[in-house]
């Protein structure tokens, strides 16, 4: 699919500074799983993508990171044009080949279809950027693991039940597994594979 | 793709090429003259601010052999959108951000009503200057051309 020039929007206003800020935000989010972070840039996002999702894409994707898009995101020419123009990442139709996946929560395929890494190189697994309906710190889930002193509550709205179960079960395969970044509007929260999830409050 | 859009693409490739290879100072001077005729500087918004980087140049021996990496060169690129919605892009040699900006602006203006003015005031003089430079270089090097003759050695 060619880039449609009418639909291109501006990326980060200061690419160097803003991608470093985004990277720092993401690093904080990954090292303290379940803490909700706010992003400041960019000001506009293409198509159905949230600002936080677009910020992660601008900061993390480049020509060396194959990207998988969920169905309706793949069909959105505004989004794919902007991803091609600003990130240059190759779009792949096969989820297992992707280093990054950008998906709407409702369209998530089975967790097992993403690259979980291999025993020699668990770091080669995929990172999922999942756009959800809402994120809050109410204790719908209880998180424990590295980066959490005792335990932390988190609610992700709009995540399919089946995917949640697969995500919880995938922790048994540690160090294999995927890292998730949940995005909604300007908020993002990260769940690395080291975080244990328990359904229900403390 | 229809014939007319093919021609449009070729025309755009030509002016983008001229803008990319133009001398920065000459481009600035001609742009100032264009501005006077345009009245006001066009309003625009950056899609991609001018940014410099390296790109690998690839070549083929004789134009058809195996591709090989010739070397890296500095390159500056820029993309912007005019108020009217037209998108202009530029890729230029070197790291002159002002040159990249002007080339992108000119590319955008050349795609709309200002085409004739910019073509006449900017592209035509730049192209003729580039042609003259090339001819001067070619004639200077033609003087030093050596033809080698070998005697038939009777091997065949």
The mean pLDDT value for B24-28 works out to 90
User: Residue B51 and residue A15: Cβ atoms within 8 Å?
Assistant: yes
The mean pLDDT value for A193-197 works out to 93
| Chain B interface disruption, residue of A8, A9, A78, A87, most B CBs within 10 A | A8
| A5, A6, A11 ranked by CB distance to B48: nearest | A11
- Closest chain A CA to residue B44: A10
Label residue B23 exposed, middle or buried (CB < 10 Å: 0-12, 13-18, 19+).
Answer: middle
3-state secondary structure of B83: coil
Give the percent of chain A with pLDDT over 90.
74
Look up tokens 């066009």; give the residue: B42
The mean pLDDT value for B32-50 works out to 88
Give the percent of chain A with pLDDT over 70.
98
Structure confidence at residue B79 (pLDDT): 93
Look up tokens 């169905």; give the residue: A71
pLDDT digits (tens, 9 = 90+) for B87-136: 999 999 999 999 999 999 999 999 988 888 888 888 999 999 999 999 99
Structure confidence at residue B1 (pLDDT): 41
| B46, B51, B85 ranked by CB distance to A10: nearest | B46
User: Encoding tokens for residue B146?
Assistant: 């050596």
pTM of this structure: 0.83
Q: Does residue B63 or residue B150 have the better pLDDT?
A: B63
φ and ψ at residue A58, rounded to 5 degrees? -65, -40
- Closest chain A CA to residue B89: A5
Protein fold of A14-199? Rossmann fold (3.40.50)
Over chain A, what HEC string results? CCCCHHHCCCCCCCHHHHHHHHHHHHHHHHHCCCCCEECCCCCCCCCCCCHHHHHHHHHHCCCCCCEEECHHHHHCHHHHHHHHHHHCCCEECCHHHCCEEEEEHHHCCCHHHCCCCCCCCHHHCCEEEEECCEEEEEEEEEEECCCCCCCEEEEEECCCHHHHHHHHHHHHHCCCCCEEEEEECCEEEEECCCCEEEECCC
- Closest chain A CA to residue B51: A15
| A8, A11, A86 ranked by CB distance to B87: nearest | A8
Mean per-residue pLDDT over chain A, rounded: 91
Asked if the model's pLDDT at residue B39 lies above 90, the reply is: no
Can you tell me the distance from the alpha carbon of A25 to that of B79, in angstroms, rounded to the nearest whole number?
Answer: 28
A11 touches chain B (CB under 8 A): yes
Domain boundaries, chain B: 3-128
Structure confidence at residue A8 (pLDDT): 87
Which residues 71-110 of B are in CB contact (within 8 Å) with A? Answer: 79, 81, 85, 87
Is the separation of the CB atoms in B93 and B111 below 8 Å? no
φ and ψ at residue A100, rounded to 5 degrees? -130, 145
Can you tell me the distance from the alpha carbon of B61 to that of B150, in angstroms, rounded to the nearest whole number?
Answer: 25
């Amino acid at each position: 699919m060619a880039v449609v020039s009418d639909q291109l929007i501006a990326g980060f206003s200061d690419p160097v500074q803003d991608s470093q800020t985004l990277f720092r935000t993401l690093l904080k989010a990954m090292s303290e799983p379940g803490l909700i972070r706010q992003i400041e840039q960019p000001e506009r996002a293409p198509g159905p993508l949230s600002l936080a999702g677009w910020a992660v894409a601008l900061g993390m994707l480049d020509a060396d990171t194959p990207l998988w898009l969920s169905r309706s995101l793949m069909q959105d020419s505004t989004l794919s044009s902007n991803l091609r123009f600003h990130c240059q990442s190759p779009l792949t139709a096969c989820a297992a080949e992707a280093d990054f996946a950008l998906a709407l929560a409702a369209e998530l395929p089975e967790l097992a279809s993403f690259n979980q890494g291999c025993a020699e190189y668990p770091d080669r697994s995929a990172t999922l950027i999942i756009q959800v309906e809402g994120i809050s710190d109410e204790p719908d889930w209880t998180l424990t693991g590295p980066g959490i002193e005792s335990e932390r509550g988190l609610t992700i709205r709009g995540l399919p039940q089946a995917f949640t179960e697969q995500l919880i079960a995938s922790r048994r395969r540690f160090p294999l597994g995927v890292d998730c970044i949940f995005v909604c509007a300007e908020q993002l929260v990260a769940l690395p594979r080291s975080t244990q999830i328990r359904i229900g409050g403390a | 793709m229809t014939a007319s859009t093919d021609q449009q693409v070729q025309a755009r490739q030509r002016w983008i090429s001229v803008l990319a290879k133009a001398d920065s100072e000459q481009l600035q001077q001609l742009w100032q003259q264009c501005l006077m005729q345009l009245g006001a500087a066009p309003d625009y918004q950056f899609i991609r601010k001018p940014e410099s980087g390296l790109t690998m140049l690839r070549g083929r021996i004789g134009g058809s052999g195996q591709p090989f990496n010739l070397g890296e060169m500095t390159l500056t690129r820029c993309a912007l959108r005019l108020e009217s919605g037209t998108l202009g892009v530029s890729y230029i040699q070197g790291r002159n951000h002002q040159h990249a900006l002007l080339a992108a602006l000119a590319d955008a203006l050349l795609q709309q009503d200002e085409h004739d003015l910019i073509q006449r005031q900017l592209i035509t003089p730049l192209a003729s200057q580039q042609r003259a430079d090339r001819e001067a270089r070619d004639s200077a090097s033609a003087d030093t051309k050596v033809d080698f003759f070998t005697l038939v050695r009777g091997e065949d």
